[in-house]
Structure 1
């Protein structure tokens, strides 16, 4: 089922993201005068362009490599990657760091992509679009798995929603409190308050789908469903502790009343399933979605 979906829809999801990213790269090229002006002034005004500039190099630069080559602080690059400039840095030190970053970007800009660098003739529209597409592909390639995972999650939640609605369940707005849901309702990406460690402090734990059964009684908690998909066995076994950690927080806050299950599609082997079962987490395979009824839905 996962492979069929991947072949049919993953290329379209990736291409859609690449088209959107290409527009962002073209915007970055405008702001840097087609990579001929990566000055401190530009970087201070537009810090969020840094990821695009890193992918414009030959070879593309990881964050740590840029920090090492430019000899700048991790805080400066980290803030720029998030789209901001550090607040508690002197103007002189900031200027010096930005100039160092700009010098590295200009020195390592890929001449096979930005073919106009070093020549007198200005970049043509087709050259700019070609360069932007290549850099966008590099940016998307570095986050290919999240792009596919997000598209798959959206599809999974749509499948759960359709299944519930055919059985008379009603969707609620996102801001509804999970413990104030009337019977026969559901919501997506609701925040569930949980305790932080052994402290009295509370934090919000996002849950993909929360469903209050039609026969739910006073004091009963809704069913919590986490949608998971995977295209290979390696990644899921690296991430299997995530669900166990969520279950631990939920149980510490709400005790044995909590019901937390997984909605799975893809490559989940016995090692993963056994680990989750040991933590008291049950699951439903997407190709057997009707088994959700066994949880009182």
Structure 2
């Protein structure tokens, strides 16, 4: 399927794309299903109800956490409420970004995400993110599509890059959706907002590389930044994150299109061209903080 968005595959799951009346991109995220907080709250109020007769609830939860959520869901209401409580181990959910159809479908003030709960087998909409004007298709060339790049990290969906209606980067700082709080927030500002970049995660760290800013710049096209979700700093008694620059790319060959970087065993792997064209691959070692060429055939 021809897909207008970048599809990111986390290192712990596999992403898929869905064919509907709209164009979609899907990315997997390990989280509690975001739209059953009513069940979670009800479970909180009834936490004294025995989950397994004869056992304290905290012990019963340890036992039930070993059972697949789909099995627990089909047994009884108390177990169904349990799997949507914050204390239960998270299960995989699928987030999809939908593109509206119609005459003005190339431009929208907001992006629309839905989440597929594999236990309920239902698609449900997420809250709308803060409004931004995103350009999905070129207004003069219908076949030209602009990507929206997102990754998942530490239970958060992070929208990193897109194109605005002025053909500029649409995001100066990422949009972050937390699956537990059900809220969108802003991430730390990028030193150089960009589009058509490399985006990926590895070991709880978000990486952005190369791309194009408001105009082509060689320094931006070779730059690499990382955002460690586990490291939070305090400024004027407020908690904050920040991007950090790391070793630059050797050349600018990764600024041609949106690229998915795949995190695997402490390494971030990326290939610069999609399709059948000649490709160049590189690997970033997150432990040694060094780059090396990707061997042919990988």
Q: Identify the TM-score tier after normalising by the shorter chain.
A: under 0.3
Which structure has the bigger radius of gyration?
A: 1
Higher RCO by CA contacts (8 Å cutoff, separation 6 or greater): 1
TM-score, normalising length: structure 1: 0.26
Higher helix share: 1
